[in-house]
Structure 1
Amino acid sequence: MKIEREFLQEKAKEFNNNRALRISQRAASSTGLVEASIDKREYDSNRFHFNISLPETKIRNQNKSGRCWIFAAMNVLEYALCQKYNLKEFELSQNYIYFYDKLERANYFFNSILETLDEEPSSRLVSHILSSPMGDGGQWDMIKNIVKKYGVVPANSMPDTANSTASANMNDYLTKILRMYAKNIRKAHQEGKSLDDLRAMVEEYMGQFYNALAISLGTPPEKIDFEARDKDDQVHSEKGLSPLEFFNLIDFDLDQYISLINAPTKDKPYYKSYTVEHLGNVLEGDLVKYVNVPIEVMKEAVVDQIRSNEPVWFGCDVGQFFSRESGKLDLTTVNVFDMLDVDYDFSKEERLDYHESLMTHAMVFMGLDYDMENERPLRYKVENSWGSKSGIDGYLVMSDEWFDEYMYQVLVNKAYLPEEVLVAYEEEPIKLRPWDPMGSLA
């Protein structure tokens, strides 16, 4: 349709004659859409109460970076370390993982450039590869690959820097560098340079890139000391450990855990394994891989793991119907569409198909409120990485209904999974295109 003046006059008149719309306008324009739409009568329906709660540790803060997936993973490993050594608190270095993820991701990027030398820069694939080579987000299997290859270190062995806590400028310049290198490699290919020549260029560029990372994030340690005092005042001390030796002290079997996703779209049948093309960090590492399951299967596995006193790493679309002030993720507290006088009609399948929702943030389940009589979860205790002033002392509360709609990925111990899922995970994964919503990075 063509918007005519008569249409505008008619709609303005209708709006001004509607008292409810005028009230909504005043509230939304004064306080913002989300704040004005919060229904505080719903606070009690998703209250911060849990009858199953794992021991709490200090809340971390990723600050102005997109490292939530690393923080969530380190929180899981810290929990395992504290349980093993009876510690109240211990922090692992997120910056150490961050450094090696950036380094490996640059090498992965160069490999993708070499694989697509004969495609035009304007092709969808090359455009995708060039779009965000140094983004902060990631997937669980990318954590697994880094930890398997490089181990972990205590936070005091490689603390955060100004660039890891506020990463936008660093990522911007690292991206400029990688795109320039990609241009040089493709140009050399067009000039007839051999593949060996191009690989030599990559090796030189990787050396320069290492230096840029070391300047920005610090130099990773080769040896560390593990020193901690437990709750019974006993001292634990191991000197001169390699990062891999230190990780082995944690006694966390990375291969015992697999990722489940819930993507109820027609192109992804349940009980099949999937991977995403051109998504990863460590070139020789494991594929990013997961099994698509019904939401009920995912939920049962999460509940079983929490009830067995194990935290659960997960990825969700955190911005959906989220009240930051109260730390609530539910479908009733925030109701912007009610204020906008719009009937919101989108299924989870449709939201994925129409690019309305995907995984945006990783956190950790640390408890739940479980209805023992009806054997079902009511709400979940969520450990976040936005500092203790966010939510409720750093924690969020997620309703079971919100879980159904906006939960996309969970990491589960194989011990809590049915045989059908385990069999599917071992099958050759179906390859998804790089821009598939299940290839999103938390």
Structure 2
Amino acid sequence: MTVQLNPLSSSALQELRSNFDKREANRLAMNAVTSSGIDPVAHNYDRSRLLQHRFSVTVDNGKVTSQAHSGRCWLFSSLNVARFVARKALNIDTNSPSNPAGDFEFSQNYAMYYDKLERVNYFLQDMAALVRAGEPVDSQLMQFLLSDVMGDGGQWIMAMNLYKKYGAVPKQYFPETASSQNTSQMNSQLRSLLHQAVAHMVADPGSIEQIISDYTAAGHRILTIHLGTPPTAFDWEWTDKDGNFHRDGQITPQEFWQKYVSAGLEDYVCLIDDPRREHPKGKKIAIEHLGNVAGGDPTEYLNVPAQFMKDCARKIMTEQGLPVWFGADCHPMMDRKEGKWATDLFEYGRVYDVDFDLDKEQRVRFGESAMNHAMAFVGVDVADDGQTTNRWKVENSWGSDIADKGYFAMSDDWFTQYVYEVAVPKSMLPEEYRKAFDEPAIMLPAWDPMGALA
């Protein structure tokens, strides 16, 4: 269909210029923004100073971690929750002498290595099934999967699939590498490899099994060259916070996970706030073709109101004393340097004389917002009624040089508008929500915004 597009005429342009000049505030805004940038000019001083880094409930999780130039926030945040559990089991504080770096931390490189290897297999198996079924290469599905392959993002359930299969190791046994801290070149090579594999599948469907085998081996070589060879066992010893030395002897990563983190986190489920009216609350949602470990648990969520997610997060911290993993759209209304989020932290509309009026549902529907970052709640400020939440303490994975030594403060209204997912114990859900997990999921296409990865 040919669409007639109206050009921007010289007279229309002249009218735009004239109208701009008529409003004195426009020139003041132009002078300020061209010199300083939009955020310093739009910054809401009163809102910022009132959003304090003080909380009535705090879960001490030590020094924040840094994902560097990578998109591994979902691994960092899930392992930050796991390290809190492990530190309690090991009786070590946040600055244990058992770790040369001065703080106990899990190896995110180890988790990423196996995530990437599993994703190579998952993608090849998934694409092979589509090729065999005759899916056209230029279909929306094929083109989306080809363009989306081998990013760094993920979900809580995908992380648990890795830990259940491969366990975890302390960071000193598989430290960071140049490529784990900056994944762009490694990902680019893996992406090219997998694109080539699919091209060969389409050209020679009779050789698909051999193609999968050959390209899985090639993916393994690339990953090992970039990230190193992960340990299959290690000698674990540590000194607890009371000064007592412990030696476990040789232990596998799977044994370490089961012994010091336990299966508790693996029994968590994911709650999501999909604000679109056609997706009812209390129903399970899943995304087609989304996963990392073939044969692992499917990536699915229960759609619930944002207030229910808040109640669960508050109870986990206040009653169980544990951090809470969550996913959000981190970019809107964020002061990265000061470590703050609030829905009115920047007054862009006043600077531009534009009313930005989309609600959460409209932002999702029209491509304005989706989950893109995972973190952990480690504190909350609860009002005297014991129920109302004022603000939230967030452990980020962007290093300790920003915010409050890397910890952010989030207003409660920002939670409502931009938090999309939390991971909670299934046992804390009411019966109707637990039963909903036994029902078939509403299947959404691969490109649906609820399939966005943190």
Aligned counterpart, 1:130: 146
Q: CA deviation at 1:2?
A: 3.9
Question: 1:381·1:395 contact (CA, 8 Å) conserved in 2?
Answer: yes
Aligned counterpart, 2:272: 261
Aligned counterpart, 2:98: none
Q: Which runs of 5+ in 2 are unaligned?
A: 1-5, 95-103
Answering whether residue 71 of structure 2 is matched by residue 39 of structure 1, we say no
The correspondence of residues 19-168 of structure 1 with structure 2, limited to 5 A, is 19-89=24-94, 90-117=104-131, 118-168=134-184
Aligned counterpart, 1:208: 218
Counterpart AA for 1:106: V
Aligned counterpart, 2:362: 350
State how far apart, in whole Å, the 2-side matches of 1:342 and 1:165 are: 39
SS in 1 for 2:314: helix
The Cα offsets for residues 255-298 of structure 1, whole Å up to 9 and x where unpaired, read as 32110000110231111111111000111101001100011111
Aligned counterpart, 1:232: 242
Counterpart AA for 2:229: T
Q: How many residues were matched structurally?
A: 436
State how far apart, in whole Å, the 1-side matches of 2:55 and 2:297 are: 36
Counterpart AA for 2:161: N
The Cα offsets for residues 29-82 of structure 1, whole Å up to 9 and x where unpaired, read as 111112221122222321111010011311100000000000001100000011
Aligned counterpart, 1:373: 385
Question: 1:132·1:175 contact (CA, 8 Å) conserved in 2?
Answer: no
State how far apart, in whole Å, the 2-side matches of 1:61 and 1:331 are: 26
Aligned counterpart, 1:399: 411
So what's the TM-score if we normalise by structure 2? 0.94
Question: 1:363·1:384 contact (CA, 8 Å) conserved in 2?
Answer: yes
The Cα offsets for residues 129-162 of structure 1, whole Å up to 9 and x where unpaired, read as 1112110000111101111111101101111100
Equivalent of 1:4 in 9, 15, 18: 9
Q: CA deviation at 1:94?
A: 0.3
Counterpart AA for 1:217: L
Aligned counterpart, 1:179: 195
Answering whether residue 313 of structure 2 is matched by residue 307 of structure 1, we say no
State how far apart, in whole Å, the 1-side matches of 2:430 and 2:29 are: 49
Question: 2:326·2:422 contact (CA, 8 Å) conserved in 1?
Answer: yes
Which range is displaced more, 11-20 or 178-187?
A: 11-20
The Cα offsets for residues 97-119 of structure 1, whole Å up to 9 and x where unpaired, read as 10000000010100111111112
SS in 2 for 1:369: strand
State how far apart, in whole Å, the 1-side matches of 2:293 and 2:427 are: 27
State how far apart, in whole Å, the 2-side matches of 1:428 and 1:158 are: 40
Equivalent of 1:13 in 8, 18, 43: 18
SS in 1 for 2:399: coil
Q: Which runs of 5+ in 1 are unaligned?
A: none
The Cα offsets for residues 363-404 of structure 1, whole Å up to 9 and x where unpaired, read as 000001110237300000000000001222101110000000
The correspondence of residues 192-207 of structure 1 with structure 2, limited to 5 A, is 193=206, 197-207=207-217
Answering whether residue 243 of structure 2 is matched by residue 243 of structure 1, we say no
Question: 1:261·1:291 contact (CA, 8 Å) conserved in 2?
Answer: yes
State how far apart, in whole Å, the 2-side matches of 1:433 and 1:212 are: 31
The Cα offsets for residues 331-361 of structure 1, whole Å up to 9 and x where unpaired, read as 1222222211110111111111111100000
SS in 1 for 2:375: strand
Runs of 4 or more above 6 Å deviation = none
Question: 2:265·2:425 contact (CA, 8 Å) conserved in 1?
Answer: no
Counterpart AA for 1:85: L
Counterpart AA for 2:390: L
SS in 1 for 2:354: coil
Q: CA deviation at 1:430?
A: 1.9
State how far apart, in whole Å, the 1-side matches of 2:110 and 2:23 are: 57
SS in 1 for 2:204: helix
Counterpart AA for 1:355: G
Counterpart AA for 2:337: E
State how far apart, in whole Å, the 1-side matches of 2:401 and 2:239 are: 27
SS in 2 for 1:367: strand
Aligned counterpart, 2:3: none
State how far apart, in whole Å, the 1-side matches of 2:120 and 2:424 are: 29
SS in 1 for 2:128: helix
Answering whether residue 453 of structure 2 is matched by residue 437 of structure 1, we say no
State how far apart, in whole Å, the 2-side matches of 1:10 and 1:433 are: 44
Q: CA deviation at 1:85?
A: 2.0
Question: 2:179·2:226 contact (CA, 8 Å) conserved in 1?
Answer: yes
SS in 2 for 1:116: helix
State how far apart, in whole Å, the 2-side matches of 1:234 and 1:326 are: 39
Counterpart AA for 2:183: S
Counterpart AA for 1:328: K
State how far apart, in whole Å, the 2-side matches of 1:28 and 1:426 are: 53
Equivalent of 2:282 in 266, 271, 281: 271
So what's the TM-score if we normalise by structure 1? 0.96
Identity %: 37
State how far apart, in whole Å, the 2-side matches of 1:351 and 1:147 are: 34
State how far apart, in whole Å, the 1-side matches of 2:67 and 2:281 are: 34
Which range is displaced more, 377-386 or 254-263?
A: 254-263
Which range is displaced more, 319-328 or 396-405?
A: 319-328
Q: CA deviation at 1:252?
A: 4.0
State how far apart, in whole Å, the 1-side matches of 2:442 and 2:15 are: 53
Aligned counterpart, 1:316: 328
Q: CA deviation at 1:201?
A: 2.0
Counterpart AA for 2:429: L
